[in-house]
Amino acid sequence: MKNLQIHNPHFITYTDEHFMIDVLGGVDVLQIERMYCTLKITHKDYPPYRTTLDLYADSQAEKLIRTLCDKWGVTLVESSKSVHAFICQLETYKLDHLRYPQGIKEKAFEMSESEEQEARKYLTSKKIITNLKRDLQQIGILGEDDNALTLFLAMASHKSENPFSVLCLAKCGIGKSYLLQKLSQCMPKNCFSFHTQISENALYYFDSKQIDGKALFIEDLEWTNEMLTPLATLQAHGKLIKTRATKDKDGMLHSTTFEVAGKLCLIACAYSEKNYESQSLPFLCLHLNHSHAQDITIMEYQKRCKAGLINQSEIAATQRRLQCVIASLKSTSIINPFAPLIHLPEDLPHPRKTLLLLLNFIETITFFRQYQRETTADTSTGEVLIKTHPEDIELAFTLLKNSLFRRADELSTSARGFYNWLQKYIAQAQTNQFTALDVRKAKRLHPRTLNRYLQELCLFHYIQVTGGNKYREGYQYKITNMGEDNGLNKSIENTLQATLKTVWNAYNNQKSNTKPDTKTEEQPQEQEQEQQQTPEQDNEQDNEQEAEPTFFEPHYKRIRINEKEEYTLKVITELETQEQGREYLTGDITALTKRSQCIEARYLKDLWEQGKLNREWRNRQYYYTLATTDSETAGQNQLTNTQSTETQTENSETTDE
């Protein structure tokens, strides 16, 4: 494309000895079968010639060539060469854009060694929840400690196998968008996609790469069934399929299927006044703080920001630290051995989805505390699993207690807040009856809003009409059941406390039962080994025990093959018996172990570092072969030395016999 110059996708210029051709509006890259374009052709000092045609149509191209010859007196050969060269270069430009899409590539998040060490210390600290609340307050999220903590844990779960989604519900002007923007600044840039608003059918046309393994932020989510239904389906099943009728170029109808697959981690805000629990959504719905004290706190922080009293460098450093913390989390599987002991209160509606929501949130907390939890290995697959601790269940109950109260409440959020204020007003006024006029004198409310609150309270029999007239002074009301809400809250709290007690008892029983059993089993085995071992073997075992590092040290290198890699090595040895000297790829092993390629590649790399496998880089991928006895690596010397000592002792025993 020597003569073709692309100024931008909408303006392309072609120049040669005879003509200068400007392509106005560019050319459609996605249309392969046609090349419609608007041309402006100039020759020397003559007036330009403008036309719109399809360059792939032979009749239109021939007509253009003859028109240029007749108009400016150019020979037919020169005009034909220029036009066909222009068409060929423009076609090359289209094909290059199809082969190599000009998309914006996101840079991977990079951390320095010091940042990795600080993030590891942050995740292994016992005060991780306290430190996280302090950091969220420092970046400017005030008065929403529990809600901000829940949202941050949900954001961090985008790497897990079961991401968690949260919806924030509040009125206009409360700060929903501000909260989402502050939280998104704590995420690595390549781990989320931020949207102000999406339409109802936008999810069906998403690219799976934009959703899978990323957090989806939506500032203003439309509170309609057409919007919430595909989100709930994608969250529950991990796949969204839509088939609709479309017309082809001949006008014939045929069905077209759109499929989006991915693990959804949704963090969205919505404005809603109705009772959302009737829809039974698989998302955790949080209600932001609407109190007057929260308004004062936010206004004081705004004054400090405008006065320059807030250190922006400290906020940037805190956001960077939280980004490193999220980037340090690894994708692992979670197992909850205490799940059969968790029970919900009887008064909660939709118990199936509510229980699943609670169990998923417990896994989210365990995933964030993965560096502090005990790990086990699955004997059948060799996969490493992280076990849930009772502290995770206790934290989940603490954070979700208000959400469980809201699920059990039959009133909407705004009506419940008005009912709580009405109880205080009746107690201060020392009266049993009130009218709408009395309420409006004490609290500034729109008449229609007040009428809606009173109708909802009358519908659920929280208040009762005792007299009055609709057309004169209005109806008179009285409160019927003032202690109903307190009794419901007490029943939920008692159920949660009883569940926590059973979980802690089960954990203590497991801990007490495992200790004496391990001691009684290890004592006779140790005595037999001490009688059979030689002094040289005793010295070797002492050196190995002293040199073996712990799991959380920064320069941790494993000496022995653990359970997760032993299963991979077992599969390779079984395949080697069928065909010796075979080369193995990561996909060959994952087809048998049913594990992800990322996890299996890490296991193969560990086996190669230990000298059990040989590795060769070829054709942009690693080829593994089973290591023979002749090949030695840095990680294999210690194992071969121990084997040589064992063979020497066996030979000496045979000669003595």
Task: Tell me the per-residue pLDDT of 281-311, one tens digit each, with 9 for 90 and over.
Answer: 788 888 888 888 888 999 999 999 999 899 9
Of 583, 643, 650, the C-alpha closest to 613 is: 583
Residue-wise pLDDT for 354-405, tens only, equals 889 899 999 999 999 999 998 888 878 778 889 999 999 999 999 988 877 7
CATH of domain 559-656: 1.10.10.10
pLDDT digits (tens, 9 = 90+) for 401-459: 887 777 777 787 788 888 888 988 888 888 888 999 889 888 888 889 899 999 988 88
Please give the pLDDT value at position 53.
93
Rounded-to-integer distance, Cα 578 and Cα 567, Å: 17
- Contact status, residue 233 vs residue 211, Cβ threshold 8 Å: no
Tell me which of 73-87, 458-472, 475-489 is least confident.
475-489
Which of 14, 36, 15 has the alpha carbon at shortest distance from 25? 36
Q: Do domains 113-331 and 413-482 have the same CATH topology?
A: no
pLDDT in tens, 80-132: 999 999 999 999 888 887 765 555 556 778 889 999 999 999 999 999 999 99
217 has a pLDDT exceeding 80: yes
Is the model's pLDDT at 343 over the cut of 80? Answer: yes
The angle, 0 to 180 degrees and rounded to 10, between the axes of the packed helices 145-156 and 312-328 is 40
pLDDT of 531 above 50: no
User: Do the bridges between strand 11-15 and strand 4-8 make them parallel or antiparallel, or are there none, so unpaired?
Assistant: antiparallel
pLDDT of residue 515: 57
613-622: long-range contacts at Cβ-Cβ below 8 A with a sequence spacing of 24 or more?
Answer: 613/572, 621/585, 621/586, 622/585, 622/586
Beta bridge partners of 113: none
Lowest-pLDDT choice from 1-5, 178-182, 231-235, 321-325: 1-5
Average pLDDT over residues 482-496: 70
Task: Kindly indicate the confidence band of residue 187, based on its pLDDT and cuts at 50, 70 and 90.
Answer: very high
Residue 592 CA to residue 518 CA, distance in Å, equals 34
Q: Are the C-beta atoms of 597 and 588 separated by less than 8 Å?
A: no
The rounded distance, in Å, linking the Cα atoms of 236 and 280 is 12
Average pLDDT over residues 618-624: 82
Backbone angles phi, psi at 445, to 5 degrees: -135, 150
- Give residue 321's pLDDT: 94
Going 125 to 131 to 136 to 142, the CA torsion angle's sign is: positive
pLDDT at 277: 54
Structural domain 113-331, CATH architecture: 3-Layer(aba) Sandwich (3.40)
* Token output for 438: 């009395």
Query: What is the mean predicted confidence (pLDDT) over 513-529?
Result: 49
DSSP letter assigned to residue 49:
E
Average pLDDT, the chain: 81
- For residue 338, the model assigns a pLDDT of 93
- For β-strands 613-618 and 36-42, DSSP reports them as unpaired
Residue 224, pLDDT above cutoff 80: no
Greater model confidence, 501 or 556 = 501
What is the percentage of the chain residues whose pLDDT exceeds 70? Answer: 83
- Report CA 353 to chain centroid distance, whole Å: 20
- Per-residue pLDDT, averaged over 588-609, amounts to 80
Could you tell me where the beta strands, DSSP code E, fall in 235-382?
239-247, 253-261, 265-270, 284-287, 333-335, 375-377
The CATH code belonging to domain 413-482 is: 1.10.10.10
pLDDT, residue 624, reads: 87
Tokens found for residue 310 = 């807030």
pLDDT value of residue 372: 92
Parse the chain into domains and list their residue ranges: 4-99, 113-331, 413-482, 559-656
pLDDT at 647 over 90: no
CB atoms within 10 A of CB 131: 14
Question: Is the separation of the CB atoms in 443 and 292 below 8 Å?
Answer: no
Cα distances (Å, whole numbers) of residue 580 to 410, 626, 630: 69, 9, 16
Exposure string of 371-402, with b = 16+ CB inside 10 Å and e = fewer, is: bbbeeebeeeebbbbbebbbbbbbbbbebbee
Handedness of CA 647, 653, 655, 657 (dihedral sign): negative
DSSP conformation letters of 556-601: ---SS--HHHHHHHHHHHHHHHHSTT--B-HHHHHHHH---HHHHH
Q: Which residues contact 357 (CB under 8 A, 6 or more apart)?
A: 282, 283, 284
- Model's pTM, two decimal places? 0.65
467 and 475 Cβ atoms separated by less than 8 Å: yes
Residues in the chain: 657
Confidence at residue 279, expressed as pLDDT on a 0 to 100 scale = 62
128-173 pLDDT tens trace: 999 999 999 999 999 888 999 999 999 999 989 889 999 888 888 8
Determine phi and psi for 630, rounding to 5 degrees: -75, -35
Of these ranges, 51-60, 102-111, 632-641, the one predicted with the greatest mean pLDDT is: 51-60
